[in-house]
Amino acid sequence: MLLQIYSLCILGLDLMTLIIGVCYTILIAVYRMFRPPPLKNLNYEVAMVVGAGRGIGKELALQLCQFGVVVACVDINAETCTATAQRAQQLHGICKSYQCDVRNKDAVAQIVNLIKIELGNITMLFHCCGLPSPRTLIQESSEVRDTMDLSVISHFWLLDSVLPCMRQAGKGHITILSSVAGLSNGSSGRGTRVPLSTAQFAVQGLAESLHMELRHSNSNIIVSLVHVYPFIVGTEIAKDIRFRIPSYFGTMPAAEAARQILDGVRRNYAEFSVPGYLLYLGHVLRILPKKASFMLRDLLDTGVDFA
């Protein structure tokens, strides 16, 4: 009897501690909405930007150089990757280009080892490959295996090689870019993009699992998951996209998207979106009944897949 009473008391204390902790965390989160954390200094960091040949990856590489980061540009396209590195050097940044197919485990290990020798231990990783662009969303779907290898499996090959570098350096920041398909599981409009949506959900699960594992291991490595709405990063195919509510979505240059991503990374946000309101929209979609979430997606229909 006494043991049962003692157990109930311990359970009550645990629940009270949990409730107080949750309330405190919510208050801090609300406070941070109005007063964000300070921006951290990126001087002397060594960043590996995968997919630096074009789009957001290119802009991230260029802007990182301006913050004093040593950047390793990695892309399967050697020509565009070299062009990004040359542009960064013109801006007085320290940047080198490396050609690599990140779907190949051995190739990734070799490139990471080469970067470590030439530039030092990698302390920042940006994975920009597999992020659906407006163009990919209106074209035919890629092969399922190619989509999964590029968008999901490549993360494992990179982490296998990069995490030891970060542990050796005693710090690290892993930034994973995902489509908003990681926020909602529906797609609308013409065609089907099941592989793309599935891959983006897998990326979100990977980021959350990695975050938990590193947290429990008391590692000084931060994980940031960034949800990007693909239509905002350019206007080159605006004629192919039907915006149901144009003022709601709008467009954004890749340079501005990269700036917002780096702002969130420098504040050590675990999860955020570009634009910022999409993260909250995704949470609302999860809470709503399935039929209601479908109705909201229909309202926000863009005429092509919302992946």
The model carries a pTM of: 0.81
In-domain check, residue 192? yes
The pLDDT, as a whole number, for residue 162 is 95
**Assigned domain for 188 exists:** yes
pLDDT tens figures, 46-86: 999 999 988 899 999 999 999 999 999 999 999 999 999 99
Specify whether the CB–CB gap between 185 and 71 falls below 8 A: no
Q: What are 285's two structure tokens?
A: 């979609």
Query: By C-alpha distance, which of 166, 226, 160, 163 is closest to 46?
Result: 166
> In terms of DSSP bridges, do strands 271-274 and 95-99 run parallel, antiparallel, or are they unpaired?
unpaired
**Sign of the four-CA dihedral 251, 253, 256, 261:** positive
Q: For residue 262, what are its two tokens?
A: 């780096």
Say which residues have a Cβ less than 8 Å from residue 161's Cβ, sequence separation at least 6.
108, 109, 112, 113
Query: Over 50: is that where the pLDDT of 268 sits?
Result: yes
Task: Give a yes or no: residue 31 inside a domain.
Answer: no
Residues 197-246: pLDDT tens digits? 788 888 888 999 998 888 878 788 999 999 887 555 554 444 444 555 55
Contacts of 143 (CB under 8 A, 6+ apart): 195
Q: Where are the alpha helices (DSSP H) in 94-178?
A: 105-118, 134-138, 144-148, 154-169
Q: What residues contact 160, with CB distance under 8 A and at least 6 apart?
A: 105, 108, 109
Domain containing 247: what range? 40-306
Backbone phi and psi for residue 196, each to the nearest 5 degrees, phi listed first: -65, -50
- Of 1-10, 179-188, 192-201, give the range with the top mean pLDDT: 1-10
Residue 24 lies in a domain: no
Whether 235 is in a domain gets the answer yes
10 falls within a domain = no
Our count of domains for the chain comes to: 1
CA angle 236, 240, 243 (to 5 degrees): 100
pLDDT at res. 139: 47
256 inside domain: yes
Residue 184's CATH number: 3.40.50.720
The answer to whether the peptide bond before residue 37 is cis (omega within 30 degrees of 0) is no
In this structure, are residues 152 and 202 in contact, taking their beta carbons and an 8 Å threshold? yes
Residue 25 located in a structural domain:
no
Q: Closest Cα to residue 176, out of 144, 211, 214? A: 211
Helix axis angle, 55-66 relative to 254-266, nearest 10°? Answer: 50
